[in-house]
Chains A and B, each alone.
Chain A
């Protein structure tokens, strides 16, 4: 099994750390992992993206043109990466701030209102965990236990009191993600 994922959004949305938690989770279940971020000036207030690969075999290129899954969290990333999803792949996005919604019909498109759900839970910082929950519902490539273990590993100990709310956010995301149907280029 190999899963090639792009996560893209604004710097500060927790894009890189979401990727890191996925990678940690992969390690927890003895997989090979790679985490390749965009870095530099574009991170500072601009767009940030990270390519995460989980595989049972040695990973060749950590840098890819097409992906099995795309998690898209702003309009610039939608413009850049919608076409990068392999036919039959999935695209998960948060509609917040999206004016041009995806239109492809050869992939499965899912929505999750991560921003809204995180606000409702009273902690905007768990936004990326809501999204991750949504993704894992669609693609259960890593077990929840391993995610929580990965989370523990990637969070400094002083933040470990936040583990329960993160778990709650993941569960929330799992429950609230939904498939979108597109016909003739519009939502149904």
Chain B
């Protein structure tokens, strides 16, 4: 039965992991995401569904437990916050290289270094530009509500298994710690071992029967074989861009200016948009729901309509680089965002729009795709 509840983002995510029938969760405590493993432990998921939950000795161990379970076909998840994700990156690169499906959650806090435990969005580069070593990308979902913290778990597993690739849910301390109404989906059955063996018999290490042995590895010492492996990954990423891009637009039909924001910043920018509209500023919002794939074409097209774009993120300016690349200098693109765990207010955002974009008047560069290549 679907259920209506008031829950923290972290708890909704944990509950969703049980309900989608995940086989295992491996994690390590770190603020502001410790509620995920705390909630799971309290729920006795081994009794509810048979799901395994284990507190590992480190984030490194946790991601490698994920690697092990995923290599044998099990649906497995881990979560952490920024410094912990840095530790997991080796394992994430291995997951991508070995083509293993898994869900990784980052409830971002402010950095660099130990930083602070307050919300931030400074892990954008780490999330969408690889992060770990080698030529790989993560499919990145950015929830902006407690409901999405719940819903995206199912979506993330679907993508992970569609592509046999690790998927990242990029949340932050605000979405993880806040409570909202959430509609929880019905409990799904975990796959039985027999079903799993049948379904993933062509790759999972479930024990060699009459078939050829299955080997899970990211190693190809022969350069030509390794290049083939990389090319296969690149093809997957291209397919993700074609088939699984997600975004949302608000008030863009008549917009003269545009906010681009994801996750918690999208929520705050939406309020800023409301304030702006009250003042007579026609501003819209484009919210990337996936950060990779990124809504490049939508931004390129919107740049023909608006006078300027403000990229809003709780960082020193990371996503703004991708917005600029997408817009190809057709209109000014500026960044606004607080760092260090300070959350920007809707008022600050609208002031930034006025100061950085509107004040400068219309400076449209009439570029076409062709001319911009020069």
- Using a CB–CB cutoff of 8 Å, the interface residues on chain A facing chain B are 20, 23-24, 27, 32-37, 39-41, 59-66, 153-154
Contact = CB atoms under 8 A, between A and B. Distances in A.
Interface in B235-292: 264, 267-268, 270-274
Contact of A36 (B32, B118, B174, B348): B174
Contacts of A41: 117
A34 B117 contact: no
Interface residues of B, number: 27
B271 A40 contact: no
Contacts, number: 75
Nearest to A52: B179
A40 B181 contact: no
B6 to A, nearest CB: 6
B119 to A, nearest CB: 9
Given A60-B271, A61-B268, A62-B174, A40 B117 contact: yes
Contacts of A35: 6, 178-180
Across the A-B interface, the 5 shortest Cβ-Cβ residue pairs: A61-B271, A65-B345, A60-B270, A35-B179, A60-B271
Interface in B165-206: 173-174, 177-181
A37 B178 contact: yes
Given A33-B180, A37-B177, A63 B268 contact: yes
Interface of B: 4, 6, 31-32, 116-118, 173-174, 177-181, 264, 267-268, 270-274, 343, 345-348
Most A CB contacts (10 A, CB to CB) among B4, B32, B181, B268 go to B181
B31 A27 contact: no
Given A32-B181, A34-B180, A61-B267, A39 B6 contact: no
Contact of A27 (B116, B181, B272, B345): B181
A39 B177 contact: yes
Contacts of A60: 267-268, 270-271, 273-274, 346
Contact of A62 (B31, B32, B267, B348): B267
Contacts of B179: 20, 23, 33-36
A27 B4 CA distance: 9
A59 B270 CA distance: 9
Given A23-B6, A60-B274, 14 more contacts: A20-B6, A33-B6, A33-B179, A34-B178, A35-B6, A36-B178, A37-B177, A39-B177, A40-B31, A60-B271, A61-B267, A63-B268, A64-B346, A153-B6
B18 to A, nearest CB: 20
Contacts of A59: 180, 267
14 contacts: A20-B6, A23-B6, A23-B179, A27-B4, A33-B179, A33-B181, A34-B179, A35-B180, A36-B179, A39-B32, A39-B177, A40-B118, A61-B267, A62-B180
